[in-house]
Structure 1
Amino acid sequence: MGKLREVEILLNQTQKVRFERAMERLQSLSSTTNNSVIVADSIPFNHDEAFLKGHGTSLVDGELLTTVCGVVNHVDKLVYVRTLRARYKPEVGDIVLLRYSFVAQRQSRWRVDLNSTQDGLLKLSSMNMPDAVQKRNTSVDELNMRNILAEDDVVCAQVGESQRDGSLLARSNKYGKLHKGQLLKVDPYLVRRSNLHFHFIESLGIDLILVRNGFIWVGEHTQSNDPMVVDDEIISSKTRQSILRIGNAIRVLSTLGFTLTLAVIMETFDLSNMENVQIHDMLGSEFHVWSQRGKLKEEHVHSKKNVKALI
């Protein structure tokens, strides 16, 4: 990995921690590839051969320099840098969280925010309906689409086989509309690809959903087999406090650049409780530094907490 040019930058404590985490990630990339770079690194190339400058590169005084941190990639004549904070790219079979935006011009589908370079499309025919009856959709169903999903509603779905039209599926009972919780947004690279997405924190009665597109759901555990059925019972104050504390733990870890796993999230949650840190104070710089010095580990041995991971 190349050396950063001599530039003096003044950073506050939180920025220093984030910079250290980014450098650690680059070092880990260097162990598997010799193409990892930081800003202002020089990319060697043959001046006699034609090439195309791609994302993250700039030609300065005959030298090809990087403008972002990441990994250098070559595709034929194209040279570009894949950044650490690249936008999420849907892959077939991915479990994702969606935020409803509006009904598309073609009335049989919803346009949803996928936290990607483009919106996704959730067809009415691909949605698990409230009555759990799978039938041919009618014009009446299309007119009632806004009664099924309201603006900013959150839906758990799966990326379908046809990626060109951004098709999404929410037919299974484990997918569908989510209630009684909060949606958080983080950089997608902070969530590792895994076979475990749905976590039930039994001791708190909380559901935690970690998915690859950078949306995270923290909400009250639902026992209904039909995710479209709404339980009118009010969330207890204790459960609400747990949801907010876990949410702030995720925000702190995201700011520090930690890979988000169930174990690390719960360790941060427990640390705030153990030190009697108020929920709103968790977002202050003091707790950020405290969390870093607490040596939270990304690769954590199986948690001793009473937590069940659900596929």
Structure 2
Amino acid sequence: MAAIEIRLPVARKLVVQSLAQGSDKHLVAPGDTITTDTGYMRGHGTYMGDEKLVASVAGAVERVNKLICVKALKTRYNGEVGDIVVGRVTEVQQKRWKVETNARLDSVLLLSSMNLPGGELRRRSAEDELAMRDYLQEGDLISAEVQAVFSDGAVSLHTRSLKYGKLGQGVLVQVSPSLVKRQKTHFHDLPCGASVILGNNGFIWIYPTPEQKDEEAGGFVTNLEPVSLHDREVISRLRNCILALVAQKLMLYDTSIVYCYEASLPHQIKDVLKPEVMQEIVLETRQRLLELEG
């Protein structure tokens, strides 16, 4: 006989009143009037109609001085210079790689925009061009920084810093880019023993924290040693916690992930994705974040 799991309904916990007030945002749907004041400038996600500013996407209204834009709740990645992204190489072309970064168009990583293995600085030769597939090939995951955004919205990447480059062993989680909070740094070594790269494009990379930072390889030598059971459990729990935060529409950054991880410790890893457990740990995370802010 196969084991059958039965879950009984439980009463929902009430959210703290101050928490509900603190998360209040001006949400609009396509066609909603944002303002009739003609003194405002039109930003992304808006258009002018009948002398009033109207939303063209569903999302939260953001005002910067006289500029009004609507940040979509669920959207493709729109690149900005300086963003940290995680992407997957889809094609090797002449002097460049095509990279999937959750944007409307494939991003481009030029051969001249990357450090050669060993951090060597010199002009790229024909031999380097022939050896491109030795550095990166189809299916490889990389971390990079946005160098430029073209007029059609395509993104040009670079990996000139030794902290960027090819990613080794870990887990990739894909979320909506609107849920990743912009911060000064997106590389975090968490106290639980794992590290995360929170890509602005919604690709999140979870991997075991390296014991020593090897910066001589230039980011192209991957560590393929076996990962310990403890590290795999930590990575699995972190992945489930991130999925729980995404399901409850909570912003992703290092503090929220650590709080959610600590709230999930009384539960088994596989139970974190159960709806009632997910709601319980995310509610505790929300309240801890509110206490931290207040």
**What TM-score range do you get, normalising by the shorter chain?**
0.7 to 0.9
Verify the 8 A CA contact 2:30 2:56 in the aligned structure 1: yes
Q: Which SS does the other structure have where 1:251 is aligned? A: helix
2:6 alignment partner in structure 1: none
Report whether the alignment pairs 1:84 with 2:76. no
Structure 1 unaligned segments of length 5 or more: list them. 1-12, 18-22, 31-35, 47-51, 74-78, 303-311
Report whether the alignment pairs 1:100 with 2:89. yes
1:121 alignment partner in structure 2: 108
Q: Which SS does the other structure have where 1:129 is aligned? A: coil
Verify the 8 A CA contact 1:96 1:213 in the aligned structure 2: yes
Verify the 8 A CA contact 1:199 1:209 in the aligned structure 2: yes
Cα separation, partners in 2 of 1:44 and 1:170, compared to 1, 3 Å: closer
The Cα offsets for residues 50-96 of structure 1, whole Å up to 9 and x where unpaired, read as xx9x9689x9xxxx8877344399xxxxx985423243221222222
1:231 alignment partner in structure 2: 223
Structure 2 unaligned segments of length 5 or more: list them. 1-9, 15-19
Q: Which SS does the other structure have where 2:88 is aligned? A: strand
Q: How many residues align?
A: 265
1:139 alignment partner in structure 2: 126
1:294 to 270, 284, 293: 284
Deviation at residue 262 of structure 1 after TM alignment: 1.4
TM-score of the two chains, using structure 2 as the length reference? 0.74
The Cα offsets for residues 14-57 of structure 1, whole Å up to 9 and x where unpaired, read as xxx9xxxxx97982x44xxxxx42467456769xxxxx9x9689
Verify the 8 A CA contact 2:29 2:55 in the aligned structure 1: no
Deviation at residue 294 of structure 1 after TM alignment: 2.6
Task: Return 249-258 or 223-232, whichever deviates more.
Answer: 223-232
Cα separation, partners in 2 of 1:233 and 1:300, compared to 1, 3 Å: farther
TM-score of the two chains, using structure 1 as the length reference? 0.71
Could you tell me which amino acid in structure 1 is paired with residue 238 of structure 2?
Answer: I
The Cα offsets for residues 130-164 of structure 1, whole Å up to 9 and x where unpaired, read as 2332232222322322222233322111111x321
Cα separation, partners in 2 of 1:112 and 1:25, compared to 1, 3 Å: farther
2:238 to 232, 246, 255: 246
1:185 alignment partner in structure 2: 174
Q: Which SS does the other structure have where 2:257 is aligned? A: helix
Q: Which SS does the other structure have where 1:100 is aligned? A: strand
Report whether the alignment pairs 1:217 with 2:219. no
Deviation at residue 216 of structure 1 after TM alignment: 1.2
Verify the 8 A CA contact 1:26 1:70 in the aligned structure 2: no
Q: Which SS does the other structure have where 2:122 is aligned? A: coil
Deviation at residue 300 of structure 1 after TM alignment: 6.3
Identity rate, percent = 33
**CA RMSD for the aligned pairs?**
3.9
Cα separation, partners in 2 of 1:295 and 1:26, compared to 1, 3 Å: closer
Could you tell me which amino acid in structure 2 is paired with residue 68 of structure 1?
Answer: A
Describe how 1:249-268 pairs up with structure 2 within 5 A: 249-268=241-260
